[in-house]
Structure 1
Amino acid sequence: MSDYRYPLREAEFALKALVDFDQLCAKGELEGVGLELAMAIIEEAGKLGSEVLAPLNRVGDTDGAKLTDRGVQESPGFADAYAQFCAGGWASLTSPEAYGGQALPSVLNTTVGEIWQSSNLAFALCPMLAAGATEAIIKHASDELKQKYAPKMVSGEWACTMNLTEPDAGTDLAALKTKAEPNGDHYLISGQKIFITWGDHQMTDNIVHLVLARLPDAPPGVKGISLFIVPKFMVDDNGNLGEANDLRCVSLEHKLGIHGSPTCVMSYGDNGGAVGYLVGEKHNGLSFMFTMMNHARQDVGLQGVAVSERSYQQAVAYAKDRLQGTNKDGSRYTIFKFPDVRRMLMQMKASIEAMRGLALIASAEIDRSHYGNDAEQKAKHGQRVDLLTPIVKGWLTELAQEVTSLGIQIHGGMGFIEETGVAQHYRDARILPIYEGTNGVQALDLVGRKTLLNEGAHLNDLFADIESTISQLAAEPSLKASAGKMQQALEAARAARAWLLDNSPQDKSAPGSVSFSFLMLMGYLCGGWVMAKNQLHAQAQLAEGAGDAEFLKAKLVTANFYFEQLLPKTQAYFAAIESGSESTMALSEEQF
């Protein structure tokens, strides 16, 4: 299906209501950058997305990447689309100017990124990984490596990958076996990596692989892992490409979805060793890779928004067109009139608005952690990034499962038929809770490192900000009901935090048993926070007589639906948390 259009009004509203984009740019001293420029950029991105990338979405699904004698051949049309993508400067939006980037805010790149992911999720994985890899190289590599690799990574001329997982080491990277042997000014890499997204293709002249491996003197566990640049083709001192490196894709995974994205098994060093270059100091590679992984985790959350929006647009169009009822006079009406269909569409719409808003808030926090001269404030924004990242990755991708499933349900039997294209969104979305750290890992991270490790202090800071928004709601007579519902949800979150702090010391199974429920509770609470901010902004705009009144009224109604139908889930998740770990851990292995 190629009828995707990015909702420009939604972007403009969110950048005003949730981010205060002009103020953000002023804080970053970005001369000439503001909402007007941002909307022009987003509009142009929308054209590329709808006119070039979206028509290839179905092509990638039905004619996916293939392994040939000359390596992986990407889906038809992808190479030309990638060339247009790079020619438009889309690969370099947020990278530093020193390497050819445009140094625009991260939150703008997030807004534009939704367009790429909605248009063609499988295609968009390639530049998405490159952005994170580029950031890791610029932050941690030597000046020599940065000068040699970063400019062409920033431009998109060279693609990038992230190589962590191995056959015997999934999430448990302590079991990693890939070796790196010193050899003069470089290292020889040998081993096998699996689940490497866009590990090979013909769209670029070179592919820069970031590979985790162990040196001979490496200590055991994750503290003994180093990070290496391993190029597909060797690069001389003048930046020219030479002979092929000793690496190859040995097979492609056959997947449930994202068929246009080649998921490769990569083999390094079959003929003596692949040449690699150490990034930063040795034995510290995992922390360097986390620069890329944290970037990717927010981007995967954004993918949840994007694929949900694509599914929603298709469901709305179908509901308005599908005749399924007959009036007494014999005339027919569409399924859009059915209350249950309206319920599903409203659930999709409210979920997406909350999801998008949280993704933008989290991305703007990245910008705020970099902008300004106040070190203490920048550190606080960095802490907020750390806190929100597992929620963005986890909650948004879980909701994407519900939203894309509802998209199928609204289509009825036709939704189960592949030719309609709606099932692809559901299949594509299913990977999102799995890769870049499963949602179980995100939940453990939220409970462990982001809550228990600091006694819930960072959560308290977030709760204080939510409380402030609730106070603003309560001050508006027409929004007092929203304030009451948000207060109930906030109290559930506070009680859940207290329960974790009280029970985790004596029950080692408690954090792991309740972590997913805690993640989901926090997701629905933060989604409510987004919708509360939306209501406040829409109400203020209506009072001033500014903007499209019907659009703003729809914002108020959608938020009310969220508060009435979705926010109460916080109470259910708290009840699950309060029950603890007993029934979860009670059965022996033999009883399963």
Structure 2
Amino acid sequence: MSDFKINQKDLFFILKEQLGYGKLCEFERYESLNEDTLDMLVNEAIRFAKGVVSPLNEIGEEQGVHWENNTVTCPKEFKAAFKAYGEDGWTAAVRDPEFGGQGFPTMMRIVVNDLMYGACQSFNMAPSLTHGAAHLIESFGTEEQKQTYIPKMYGGEWAGTMALTEPNAGSNLAALETMAYPEGDHYKIKGNKIFISWGDHDLADNIVHLALARIEGAPEGVRGISLFIVPKYRVDENGNPGEFNDVVCTGIEKKLGLHSSPTAALAFGSKDGCIGYLCGKANMGLAHMFQMMNAARINTGVSGMSMASAAYQHALDYTKSRVQGRDIAKRKEGSVPIIDHPDVRRMLLWMKGAVDGMRSMIYTTAFWADLAQVTPDPEEKERCSMLMEFMTPIVKAYCSDIGFKVCETAMQCLGGYGFCKDYPIEQYLRDSKIMSLYEGTNGIQSTDLMGRKMHMNEGAPYKAFLKEINDFCERNHAHPGLGSQVRFLKDVMDDLQEMAREMSARYSADPLQWASYTYPALMCFSEVIMVWRLVDMAIIAYDRAQKSGKKNDFFRGKVAQATFFTDITLPHTQARARTCTRVDREVVEMADNAF
């Protein structure tokens, strides 16, 4: 059975009409491609998501994963899907053809993940982590390491993970205790890792851990952390899995959701038999790992949005078919579908706008990431790079939080049935909750945004963002259909600039008060971005409808979601911005025993 639902028209509207993603094929790197080829990839990804990945959502939830004798077993269908995922090219779709990739634009990885996460979040984490680990080796490994590991990881034979977290080193990686002892051309690895997603399983012949450890004698703190390739099985002279490498799964977590994604505790070298290979430069491990961590943060936002999208589509279908209650305005006789009830319609319209806005936010960020890589214009490269820096914590935090709230609202639309396993919404709700905790909690993302991102390169990320919004408002403030929303957006953006100035002054002078309000500040910027992306889509839809002269419900829906979301969201944004600069100090001065 396939639970996956997606509105392809919404997806392609963002890619083709709003972003014009075919423009990427005008650059040298992608000159062998065209927009039709990109469209084909998206359509094939939808087919694979529906036919291969989506059935795993129910299977995994029913069967779960099992740990016994230090070994994890998964539903047999997962192994076949993981192999097909690699063999069909999905793991390496955007990577270098030299290692089995297909050379598609980098943003297509985000589009593919959107579809695959929506189909089965638990499963898609395995190939997504494998892609990230292999790409780390591709970026920083030796030529021998690349040839040894990457083709089999991209091809679906081997899997990969990132192994960061330890019992005493969660978000604070400076406290990391795993050690690496030099021994010839390799290192002996000793330590323990926890919360390792897909840290052990039976989907692949080998699992290649990209692990952080401290080389003996290295400096304390983050400056002494290095990155190591640590396979579960050592690779023999023929390039095949050989001797067990003393990486032992000591247990898996029992979790609220993601029941078919094993979250493992791993012991490295408990019998002094674990070897690892330095990947990249010594003591630069955290800097190297940030490539995978930043991608994982974006993908955490993708996950929240994707499950929200699926939940909304299920709620929409249900409300059209569920007949209950009378029409409050007596427009119809007898009982009516519950989509006729205004409160249900309110929830549906908010979810529609939230999902479309988040998807546009994410795809736009991915588009900038590609432009930063391929454009020969140094100013454009810098602009897109800085926008990426600004957007990463916002995508991660906002889309994970609002994704969960969309799932909750979808459940509300179904009433009591939404709370039952008859429908997959309760699973989406449980599975999506972890996204606000993954890859640095959302509070950490807010301090990154309002601290480092606001001040790096003399505020370049923030300045790039301001220019995008202000230029948009300048171009469209007199638009005949959306002008009032654009002008409202500009007014709120002016308020946020004042808020940002005040918080920047507190950043050094009063860091406790500053840190008390970084999360609501992140939400303010996130909501402005959502309105910007929705109004941008609405302007395109409005203009298309005006040119055609025909009634088009799809275009009307784009306009309605933008005007509704803008008018119910920005007043809250303004009020929240005022709270960020309040002078009262309850948060920082109340005694611990007064809580």
1:539 maps to a residue whose letter is: Y
Deviations 1:485-504 (A, max 9, x none): 21122112212211112232
The Cα shift of 1:330 comes to 6.8
Cα distance in structure 2, aligned partners of 1:163 and 1:547: 55
Alignment of 1:202-281 (within 5 A): 202-281=202-281
Cα distance in structure 2, aligned partners of 1:546 and 1:98: 50
Q: Find the partner of 1:392 among 392, 395, 406.
A: 395
Alignment of 1:158-169 (within 5 A): 158-169=158-169
Cα distance in structure 1, aligned partners of 2:11 and 2:28: 20
Alignment of 1:518-529 (within 5 A): 518-529=521-532
The 3 A distance-change label for structure 1 pair 369 and 73 is same
Cα distance in structure 2, aligned partners of 1:207 and 1:61: 23
Cα distance in structure 1, aligned partners of 2:440 and 2:449: 12
Alignment of 1:345-364 (within 5 A): 345-364=348-367
Structure 1 alignment gaps of length 5 or more: none
Q: Find the partner of 2:567 among 556, 560, 564.
A: 564
Deviations 1:383-409 (A, max 9, x none): 211111000001111101210110111
The 3 A distance-change label for structure 1 pair 418 and 581 is farther
Taking only the aligned residue pairs, the percentage that are identical comes to 35
1:589 has 2:555 as partner: no
Deviations 1:117-156 (A, max 9, x none): 0000000111111222122111111222112112222223
CA RMSD of aligned residues (A): 1.8
Say how many residue pairs are matched. Answer: 592
Alignment of 1:229-378 (within 5 A): 229-326=229-326, 331-378=334-381
Cα distance in structure 1, aligned partners of 2:562 and 2:3: 27
In the other structure, the counterpart of 1:504 is 507
The Cα shift of 1:28 comes to 4.6
Aligned partners of 2:386 and 2:460 also within 8 Å: no
Aligned partners of 2:481 and 2:542 also within 8 Å: no
Cα distance in structure 2, aligned partners of 1:359 and 1:45: 18
2:271 maps to a residue whose letter is: N
Q: Find the partner of 2:422 among 419, 423, 433.
A: 419
Aligned partners of 1:514 and 1:580 also within 8 Å: no
The Cα shift of 1:505 comes to 2.8
In the other structure, the counterpart of 2:134 is 134
The Cα shift of 1:78 comes to 1.1
Describe the SS at the equivalent of 1:195. strand
1:37 has 2:37 as partner: yes
The Cα shift of 1:561 comes to 1.2
Aligned partners of 1:444 and 1:511 also within 8 Å: no
Deviations 1:478-532 (A, max 9, x none): 2211112211221122122111122323212133111101111111111111112
In the other structure, the counterpart of 2:53 is 53
Describe the SS at the equivalent of 2:374. coil
Aligned partners of 2:451 and 2:507 also within 8 Å: no
1:301 maps to a residue whose letter is: G
1:551 has 2:564 as partner: no
Q: Which moved more, 1:461-470 or 1:384-393?
A: 461-470
Alignment of 1:98-247 (within 5 A): 98-247=98-247
Cα distance in structure 1, aligned partners of 2:136 and 2:572: 38
The Cα shift of 1:454 comes to 4.2
Cα distance in structure 2, aligned partners of 1:568 and 1:155: 50
Aligned partners of 1:311 and 1:422 also within 8 Å: yes
Describe the SS at the equivalent of 2:218. coil
Aligned partners of 2:535 and 2:563 also within 8 Å: no
1:166 maps to a residue whose letter is: E
1:18 maps to a residue whose letter is: Q
2:314 maps to a residue whose letter is: Q
1:400 maps to a residue whose letter is: G
Q: Which moved more, 1:485-494 or 1:393-402?
A: 485-494
Q: Which moved more, 1:535-544 or 1:486-495?
A: 535-544
TM-score (norm: length of structure 2): 0.96
Aligned partners of 2:324 and 2:336 also within 8 Å: yes
Q: Which moved more, 1:67-76 or 1:205-214?
A: 67-76
Q: Which moved more, 1:579-588 or 1:286-295?
A: 579-588
The Cα shift of 1:204 comes to 0.9
The Cα shift of 1:29 comes to 4.1
Aligned partners of 2:24 and 2:371 also within 8 Å: yes
The 3 A distance-change label for structure 1 pair 580 and 90 is farther
Deviations 1:218-276 (A, max 9, x none): 11111111110000111134422211111111101000001110000011101113110
2:58 maps to a residue whose letter is: R
The 3 A distance-change label for structure 1 pair 546 and 326 is closer
Aligned partners of 2:70 and 2:250 also within 8 Å: no
Cα distance in structure 1, aligned partners of 2:487 and 2:55: 45
Cα distance in structure 1, aligned partners of 2:551 and 2:480: 22
1:447 maps to a residue whose letter is: M
Q: Find the partner of 1:406 among 401, 405, 409.
A: 409
Deviations 1:139-190 (A, max 9, x none): 1112221121122222232110010011111111111111111111111111
1:274 maps to a residue whose letter is: C
Cα distance in structure 2, aligned partners of 1:580 and 1:370: 43
Aligned partners of 1:416 and 1:423 also within 8 Å: yes
Q: Find the partner of 1:379 among 366, 377, 382.
A: 382
The Cα shift of 1:437 comes to 1.0
1:530 has 2:533 as partner: yes
TM-score (norm: length of structure 1): 0.96
Cα distance in structure 2, aligned partners of 1:424 and 1:582: 40
Deviations 1:551-585 (A, max 9, x none): 11211111111111223332122022111561211
2:155 maps to a residue whose letter is: S
Structure 2 alignment gaps of length 5 or more: none
Cα distance in structure 1, aligned partners of 2:222 and 2:239: 33
Cα distance in structure 2, aligned partners of 1:330 and 1:127: 52
1:493 has 2:496 as partner: yes
1:541 has 2:531 as partner: no
Cα distance in structure 2, aligned partners of 1:236 and 1:334: 64
Cα distance in structure 1, aligned partners of 2:582 and 2:75: 49
The 3 A distance-change label for structure 1 pair 76 and 319 is farther
Describe the SS at the equivalent of 1:148. helix
Aligned partners of 2:84 and 2:156 also within 8 Å: no
Deviations 1:448-499 (A, max 9, x none): 1100344533212211111111123223222211112211221122122111
1:524 maps to a residue whose letter is: E
